[in-house]
Amino acid sequence: MGPTSLSGIRSLWIWGRQLVLRAWPEAHTDCDLTVYDVRTGTLGTGDLLFRERLPALDGSVKGWLSVLRRSRPHQALLAVPGHGPLARDLKSAIAPERRYLKALAAGVRSELKQPSRRRTRSSTSPPRRNLTGCCEDQVHPRKCDARL
């Protein structure tokens, strides 16, 4: 079987299980995919969910926030994130990530509104409060050049 591209939503039946695959528009990257096991209520979030870690951003902050708004966390009984521990309450699990991404977008927009000056990735300071509980002061500056 050769490579297959996926857009939108597709269901697969494997060993009597229905798996719902969903390709998302640009968010964490330009090729994010979630897999939902209908029988068990398990959602594989891929890298759309980072728990207890700073999310890596190679795509679009606006796109990622849109995906988080459009997802239906109440359906999943168990979430398997791309990074971090499992989650039984997906809505609560995505809250720190959403706060961080919103603060990141607001910080970069604020920086861009400032009078023109030489900017570097590290010139955009991290959010004032620890939004994810993890190493923001070391990792955050690298996120500031991602597309908004």
pLDDT tens digits for range 29-80:
989 999 999 999 999 999 999 999 888 889 999 999 999 988 876 789 999 9
Alpha helices in 6-114 (DSSP H): 61-70, 90-113
Tell me the fold of 9-143. Answer: Metallo-beta-lactamase; Chain A (3.60.15)
User: pLDDT over 90 for what percent of the chain?
Assistant: 51
What is the CB-side half-sphere exposure of residue 62 using CA atoms within 13 A? 4
For residue 97, the cross-strand partners are: none
Say how many C-beta atoms besides its own lie within 10 A of residue 16's C-beta: 6
pLDDT at 122: 47
Cβ–Cβ under 8 Å, residues 93 and 81:
yes
Quote the pTM value. 0.76
Region of 87 (left: φ > 0; alpha: ψ -120 to 50; beta: rest) is beta
